[in-house]
């Protein structure tokens, strides 16, 4: 113990001079909350979809005619459209976050965010077109 045995020594830790996360942009809180909410909604909608299409009438054979007839019901069309939209949002937001782990530059992140948004828009429009074509049968 020696020389410090009777001395009052205060130990302080100064913060680092450079913040290692200063240039990093975190996921905005609203986007984080929307991704969690979309996951919960997807779980509920998938459960409803499974019950209606597979368990409500187990004797029914699922065919193209059955699917088209169900899609003509506004409720089931809205459930399937919501699943498409929420699934794309949830998945592409997750992909955006994973890619952000590998690319730290502001320009790269802007391209990633815009690319994910554009991909989601293209696939959503494609999904809606498919629904319209199927309903036209």
- How high is the pLDDT of residue 26? 64
Q: pLDDT, tens digit, for every residue of 48-67?
A: 888 887 887 777 788 888 88
Indicate the pTM of the whole model.
Answer: 0.73
Domains of the chain by residue range: 25-135
The H or E element that residue 117 is part of is helix 106-135
The dihedral sign for the CA sequence 34, 35, 37, 43: positive
Mean pLDDT of 20-27: 54
Identity of the highest mean pLDDT range in 5-9, 17-21, 130-134: 130-134
Mean pLDDT of 60-85: 85
- In the DSSP assignment, the letter for residue 9 is -
The C-alpha atoms of residue 8 and residue 10 are separated, in whole angstroms, by 7
CATH code given to domain 25-135: 1.20.1300
């Amino acid at each position: 113990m020696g020389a410090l045995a009777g001395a009052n020594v205060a130990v302080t830790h100064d913060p680092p001079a450079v913040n290692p996360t200063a240039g990093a942009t975190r996921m905005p809180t609203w986007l984080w909350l929307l991704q969690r909410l979309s996951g919960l909604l997807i779980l509920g909608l998938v459960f409803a979809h499974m019950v209606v299409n597979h368990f409500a009438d187990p004797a029914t054979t699922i065919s193209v005619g059955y699917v088209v007839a169900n899609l003509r019901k506004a409720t089931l069309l809205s459930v399937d459209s919501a699943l498409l939209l929420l699934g794309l949002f949830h998945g592409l937001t997750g992909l955006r976050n994973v890619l952000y782990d590998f690319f730290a530059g502001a320009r790269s992140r802007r391209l990633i965010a815009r690319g994910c948004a554009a991909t989601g828009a293209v696939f959503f429009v494609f999904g809606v077109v498919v629904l319209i074509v199927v309903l036209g049968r």
